[in-house]
Copies of this chain bind each other. A is one copy, B any other.
Amino acid sequence: MDKVLFAVLKKITPSKTQEKEMESIKEKILSAADSVIKPLNLSRTLAGSLMRNTWLPDKKEIDVFIEFPKEISRDDLEKQGLEIGKKIVKKLKGKHIIAYAEHPYVRGFVNGFWVDIVPCYKLENAREIKSSVDRTPFHNEWLSEKFKEEYIPETRLLKRFLKGIGIYGSDAKTLGFSGYLCELLIVHYKTFKNFVKKCSKWKPGKVFIDLEGYYKSMPEKFLNSPLVVIDPVDPNRNVAAAVSALNFTKLVISCENFLGKPSIRFFFPKTRKPDVKKIENKIKERGTGFIAILFKTPNIVEDTLWPQLRKTAKRIANVFKEYDFDVMGYDIWSGQKESVLVFELQSLRLPKIKKLIGPRVFSEKHSKQFITKYKKTGKLWIEGENWTAEIYRKIQTAEEVIKVFLSNSEKGLREKGIASYIAKSISKGFNIMKQKEIIDFAKKNSDFSMFLKEYLERNLFCNS
C-alpha cells in the first residue's frame, strides 16, 4: 500500500510551479479585495484548503469570504456583497456572473481561475451564524490550532481517494464529503492509512465523531444519518449531513477493497469513452422501456439546480405510478446546455383495459357506489363475491403521460409540483426521447453516454 500511496502523493502534491501560480493569483485577488474593502472597514478570509495548503493541484477555484458586521441587514449584505464582488473582479480584469446559493454572490473568472466572492457575517460565536458561509472563519480558526503540518499529504490522499470514487464534494449533486470534513477526519484518524482501516469497518448510523467531546453519546437528532461528525465549532451541526447512504457505503466498500488490493486506480480510475453500441445492447437486454425528457438547463448554480432536478424527476416518477406504470428506476443527467431526466419503466405501454376489484356483493351501500361509478364508463360483473369493473384507459403510453403532464404553463407546472426553475425551462419547450433517441443522444454526447453506462452498471459489489 505504501508504494501506491507514494505514487499517488507524487501526482497530487502541487509542484513548485503550481504552488507559485496559486500563491500569485491568491495574492493578486487578496490585494484587489483589500483595496476594495479596506475603505469600507471590512475584513476577508479565504477558504480552508488554501489556508492549510490542502488543495489538490487541479483545483482552479478560490473562495474569498467578505466579512460584514452582524448589525447590517441581510438585504444590505447581499446588495453590498454583490457590489464589492463586481468591483474586485473588475479590478482583476476578469469576467463575472451573479450566482445564487443561500444568497447571491459574485463568481469571477480571472487568469484561468474561478474566484467566488462570498459575503458573510463576522460573528463572535459560531452558534450565531445566519447562513452556512458564516461558519468558514470559525472553521479556519479551529483548524489553525488542531491541524498539523503532517496532515497535509494525508488530507490530499483522502480527498483524491474520494474524488477517484466519485464522492468528493458536499454539493447537492454529489452528496458526498466536503473538504472541511476531510480535514476533520484526518485530524481524527491522523493518517490516510489509519482512516482506510477504520472506515472499512464503518456501519451506517454507528459512526459518531465528536472532536470537541460535546456529547456523551449520539444525540437522537442524528440517529438517521449514516455518518455523524459533529462540527467542532457548532455542536448542533453534523458536518457529514450531506453524505447519502449510498455514498457512505461506496466509501466503506472502497476502503475494504483498497485494503484487500491497493491500487492507484482507486485514486485515478480509468475513464474510457463508453461504447454506445454496448450500452444499446444492455438496454435492449433488460427488456424494459426507457423514456427521457430533455430540456434547456436553467442558468442557476448546481446547488440550486440539483435539488430541483431531483424533485422534478421524483414528481414525474410518481405521475407515472399514478397512471399504473411500474417505475424500475430513474436518474438525472445535466449538462451545460441541456438536462435530461431518464426513466426506466417496466413497459412503455399499458393495456387499453384496466380491471378493478370492487366491494363484496353483500355490502349494499358500497356495491351501489361502485356500480354507480362504473356503470356508464366501463363493464361490470362479479368475480367470486366481488364486484369487478373493467374500465378503459384514456392514456396508454408513457409518452402520452409526459405530454399531457408537461404541456403546461410555467405556473401550471409549478402548481403540479415541478420545481420553479425547471418549470420555467420546460414551459418553454421540451423533447421526449424514447429508446432510439436516447441512444442517438448518447452517441453525440460522451458525458451522457458515461452517465447511461453508470446507470446500467450501478452495483456496489463487482461480480462480473
CB within 8 Å of B: which residues of A?
A: 203-206, 224, 226, 244-246, 248-249, 285-288, 328-329, 346-347, 349-353, 355, 361-362, 364, 371, 375-376, 379-385, 390, 396, 457-461, 463
Contact A249 B461, beta carbon cutoff 8 Å = no
Chain B proximity of A78: nearest CB distance (Å): 34
Contact A351 B245, beta carbon cutoff 8 Å = no
Choose from B285, B396, B460 the contact partner of A287 (Cβ within 8 Å). B396
Instruction: Give Cα A376–Cα B459 distance, bound, in whole angstroms.
Output: 11
Instruction: Give Cα A379–Cα B352 distance, bound, in whole angstroms.
Output: 33
A-B contact pairs, 18 of them (CB 8 A): A205-B361, A205-B362, A226-B361, A226-B362, A245-B385, A246-B383, A248-B361, A285-B352, A286-B352, A286-B353, A288-B352, A288-B353, A328-B351, A376-B463, A379-B458, A381-B458, A382-B460, A390-B459
Q: A380-B461, A385-B224 are in contact. Are A353 and B246 (CB under 8 A)?
A: no
Task: Pick from A362, A364, A375 the residue with the most CB of B within 10 Å.
Answer: A362
Q: Which residues of B contact A384 (CB under 8 A)?
A: 245
Instruction: Give Cα A351–Cα B284 distance, bound, in whole angstroms.
Output: 10
* Closest 4 pairs between A and B when the two form their complex, measured CB to CB: A379-B459, A287-B351, A246-B382, A205-B362
Knowing that A226-B362, A381-B460 touch, tell me 11 more A-B residue pairs with CB under 8 angstroms: A205-B362, A224-B362, A245-B384, A286-B353, A287-B396, A346-B351, A347-B347, A371-B461, A375-B463, A380-B460, A381-B458
CB nearest neighbor in B for A386: B245
> What is the count of identical protomers in the complex?
2
Instruction: Give Cα A285–Cα B245 distance, bound, in whole angstroms.
Output: 46
Choose from B203, B352, B375 the contact partner of A364 (Cβ within 8 Å). B203
Q: A203-B364, A352-B286, A396-B287 are in contact. Are A381 and B459 (CB under 8 A)?
A: yes
CB nearest neighbor in B for A347: B347
Choose from B286, B350, B385 the contact partner of A346 (Cβ within 8 Å). B350
Instruction: Give Cα A286–Cα B384 distance, bound, in whole angstroms.
Output: 23
Contact B245 A382, beta carbon cutoff 8 Å = yes
Choose from B353, B385, B461 the contact partner of A328 (Cβ within 8 Å). B353
Q: Which residues of B contact A226 (CB under 8 A)?
A: 361-362
Contact A361 B249, beta carbon cutoff 8 Å = yes
Q: Which residues of B contact A224 (CB under 8 A)?
A: 362, 385
Q: Which residues of B contact A382 (CB under 8 A)?
A: 244-246, 249, 460
Instruction: Give Cα A364–Cα B350 distance, bound, in whole angstroms.
Output: 39
Contact B396 A353, beta carbon cutoff 8 Å = no
CB nearest neighbor in B for A345: B351
Contact B353 A287, beta carbon cutoff 8 Å = yes
Instruction: Give Cα A385–Cα B244 distance, bound, in whole angstroms.
Output: 8
Contact A355 B380, beta carbon cutoff 8 Å = no
Q: Which residues of B contact A205 (CB under 8 A)?
A: 361-362
Instruction: Give Cα A203–Cα B382 distance, bound, in whole angstroms.
Output: 14
Q: Which residues of B contact A245 (CB under 8 A)?
A: 361, 382, 384-385
Q: Which residues of B contact A244 (CB under 8 A)?
A: 382
